[in-house]
C-alpha cells in the first residue's frame, strides 16, 4: 500500500475517533471504528497503534478504547475538520440578542460572553479593551470624603469607568481647576501620555500652578495603578462543570482556581489582543498548567475599526470544534456591529 493510502486511512480513523469521542465522552474501540469504515478489526487496531505511536491518540488507563490527544485535536482542526454552518435557531437567537437595545459598551461585551455560554454550555470569556491605552474623552470628579474622590472617566470609544481613589489631602477648590485642566488640555490622550506630559509640565512650572499640576499628576498615577491588568469577564462559569471531564473533583478544583485568578486568564489572552480572527489553544498548549484539561477558543472584536479585545469560550479539550469555532466567530462579528452602532 502506498504511503498516501496509509495516511488517508489514518486521517479517516482519527477523524472518526475525534467525532465519536466528542459526542459520547467515551473511549473509542476498534470494533466501533471497523463498523464505520468497513475494514477488519485487526486492520483498525494496527492503524490505531500507528496513530498512538505518533502521539495522536492514547489509551485511557481504565479502557481498551482510544481518545484523542492534544496533538490529535490539533491535526483534526488544522487538516481534517469541516466547519459547520451556524444553525438557524442559534443564528436567530444571536440576532435577537443584538437587536435588543443595550445601554453601554460594557453591557454588550458581558452579554456576548453570557450568550456564548448559554448556547455552547461552556464558559464564555471576554477581555475588555485595554483601558489604560484607551483615548481619554472626558472626566469628572466628585469629592466623597475627606481624602477620597469618585472618578467618572469616558474614553473616545464610549467606555465609561467609575471608581474611587485616595488623595494625599483634601483638594477643595483645586478640584474644579484640575477637572478643567484635564478636559481642556489632555483630550484624546491615553492616561500614560497624560502622565508623561504632566511630568514634563512639572519641570517647567515654577509658579502657583505647580501645585495644581502636581496634584493632577498624583490623581492620574492613582488611576493608572487601578488598571494594571486588563479587565476580564466570565459568563456562565459554572456551566463547564456539567461536562463529564469535571465530575472529577481534582479537575473541577483546578478549573475553579484558574477562574478565580482573572489576572492569569488575562495573561493567557494578552499575546493575541492585536491579532485578527480565531485563536485556539488546546490543553497543554495553554500557558497555565491548570488549563491542561481545557481548550480556549477566542476571536478578536473591534470598536470603531480598532481591534480592542477578545471574545470566546473555555471548555474541555473534548469540545465540538467544528461547531464552536464558527459560532465564536459569528458572535464576535455581531458583537462588533453592535458596539459600532452604540458609539456612532
Mean per-residue pLDDT for 77-93? 92
Same domain, 64 and 211: no
Percent of residues, the chain, with pLDDT higher than 70: 94
Q: Which CATH number is 33's domain given?
A: 1.10.10.10
β-sheet with 306-316: strand ranges across: 232-235, 123-127, 306-316, 294-303, 278-282
Using the predicted structure, report yes or no on whether residue 229 has a pLDDT greater than 60. no
Same domain, 320 and 297: yes
Same domain, 111 and 243: yes
pLDDT digits (tens, 9 = 90+) for 101-142: 777 778 888 999 999 999 999 999 998 876 666 777 888 888
Instruction: Enter the DSSP assignment of 139.
Output: E
- Per DSSP, helices labelled H in 68-121 are 70-75, 88-99, 105-120
Same domain, 310 and 327: yes
Q: CA triplet 52, 54, 55: central angle to 5 degrees? A: 65
Same domain, 155 and 253: no
- Whole-prediction pTM value? 0.78
Q: Return the minimum-mean-pLDDT range out of 24-38, 108-122, 217-231, 272-286.
A: 217-231
Distance separating alpha carbons of residues 192 and 228, to the nearest angstrom: 12
Please state the domain count of the chain. 3
Q: CA triplet 124, 129, 130: central angle to 5 degrees? A: 125
Using the predicted structure, report yes or no on whether residue 253 has a pLDDT greater than 60. yes
Using the predicted structure, report yes or no on whether residue 22 has a pLDDT greater than 80. yes
Q: Which of 11, 45, 80 is the last residue of a domain?
A: 80
Same domain, 274 and 164: no
pLDDT digits (tens, 9 = 90+) for 52-67: 999 999 988 766 789 9
Same domain, 100 and 172: no
Same domain, 242 and 329: yes
Same domain, 75 and 201: no
Q: Which of 207, 226, 245 is the last residue of a domain?
A: 226
Q: Which CATH number is 328's domain given?
A: 3.30.450.40
143 or 22, higher pLDDT: 22
Same domain, 22 and 69: yes
Mean per-residue pLDDT for 144-167? 78
pLDDT digits (tens, 9 = 90+) for 164-192: 878 777 777 788 888 888 888 888 888 78
Residue 62 has a pLDDT of: 67
Mean per-residue pLDDT for 289-312? 87
Domain span holding position 62: 3-80
Using the predicted structure, report yes or no on whether residue 228 has a pLDDT greater than 60. no
Taking the chain, what is the end-to-end CA distance rounded to the nearest angstrom?
62
Identify the residue whose cell numbers are 492534544: 70
The pLDDT confidence band at residue 205, using thresholds 50, 70 and 90, is: low
Q: Which CATH number is 144's domain given?
A: 3.30.390.10
Same domain, 339 and 249: yes
Residue 79 has a pLDDT of: 93
Q: Which of 178, 193, 226 is the last residue of a domain?
A: 226
Distance separating alpha carbons of residues 150 and 171, to the nearest angstrom: 13
Residue 223 has a pLDDT of: 74
Same domain, 247 and 125: yes
The pLDDT confidence band at residue 208, using thresholds 50, 70 and 90, is: low
Amino acid at each position: 500500500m502506498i504511503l498516501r493510502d496509509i495516511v488517508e486511512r489514518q486521517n479517516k480513523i482519527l477523524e472518526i475517533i475525534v467525532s465519536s469521542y466528542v459526542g459520547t465522552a467515551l473511549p473509542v474501540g476498534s470494533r466501533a471504528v471497523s463498523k464505520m469504515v468497513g475494514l477488519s478489526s485487526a486492520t483498525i487496531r494496527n492503524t490505531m497503534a500507528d496513530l498512538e505511536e505518533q502521539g495522536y491518540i492514547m489509551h485511557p488507563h481504565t479502557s481498551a478504547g482510544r481518545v484523542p490527544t492534544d496533538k490529535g485535536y490539533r491535526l483534526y482542526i488544522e487538516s481534517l475538520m469541516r466547519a459547520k454552518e451556524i444553525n438557524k435557531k442559534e443564528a436567530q437567537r444571536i440576532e435577537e440578542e443584538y437587536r435588543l437595545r443595550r445601554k453601554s459598551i460594557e453591557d454588550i461585551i458581558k452579554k456576548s460572553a453570557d450568550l456564548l455560554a448559554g448556547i455552547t454550555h461552556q464558559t464564555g470569556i471576554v477581555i475588555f479593551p485595554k483601558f489604560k491605552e484607551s483615548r481619554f474623552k472626558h472626566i469628572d470628579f466628585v469629592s466623597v470624603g475627606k481624602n477620597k474622590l469618585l472618578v467618572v472617566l469616558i474614553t473616545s470609544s464610549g467606555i465609561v469607568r467609575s471608581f474611587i481613589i485616595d488623595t494625599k489631602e483634601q483638594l477643595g477648590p483645586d478640584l474644579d481647576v484640575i477637572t478643567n485642566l484635564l478636559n481642556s488640555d489632555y483630550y484624546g490622550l491615553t492616561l500614560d501620555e497624560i502622565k508623561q506630559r504632566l511630568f514634563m509640565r512639572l519641570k517647567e512650572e515654577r509658579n502657583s500652578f505647580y501645585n495644581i499640576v502636581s496634584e493632577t499628576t498624583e490623581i492620574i498615577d492613582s488611576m493608572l495603578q487601578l488598571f494594571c491588568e486588563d479587565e476580564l469577564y466570565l459568563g456562565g462559569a459554572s456551566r463547564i462543570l456539567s461536562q463529564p471531564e469535571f465530575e472529577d473533583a481534582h479537575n473541577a478544583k483546578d478549573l475553579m482556581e484558574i477562574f478565580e485568578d482573572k489576572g492569569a486568564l488575562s495573561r493567557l489572552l494578552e499575546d493575541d489582543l492585536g491579532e485578527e480572527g480565531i485563536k485556539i489553544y488546546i490543553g497543554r498548549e495553554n500557558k497555565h498548567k491548570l488549563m491542561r484539561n481545557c481548550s480556549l477558543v477566542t476571536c478578536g472584536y473591534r470598536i470603531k475599526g480598532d481591534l480592542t479585545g477578545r471574545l470566546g469560550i473555555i471548555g474541555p479539550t473534548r469540545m465540538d470544534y467544528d461547531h464552536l469555532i464558527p459560532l465564536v466567530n459569528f458572535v464576535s462579528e455581531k458583537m462588533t456591529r453592535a458596539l459600532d452602532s452604540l458609539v456612532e
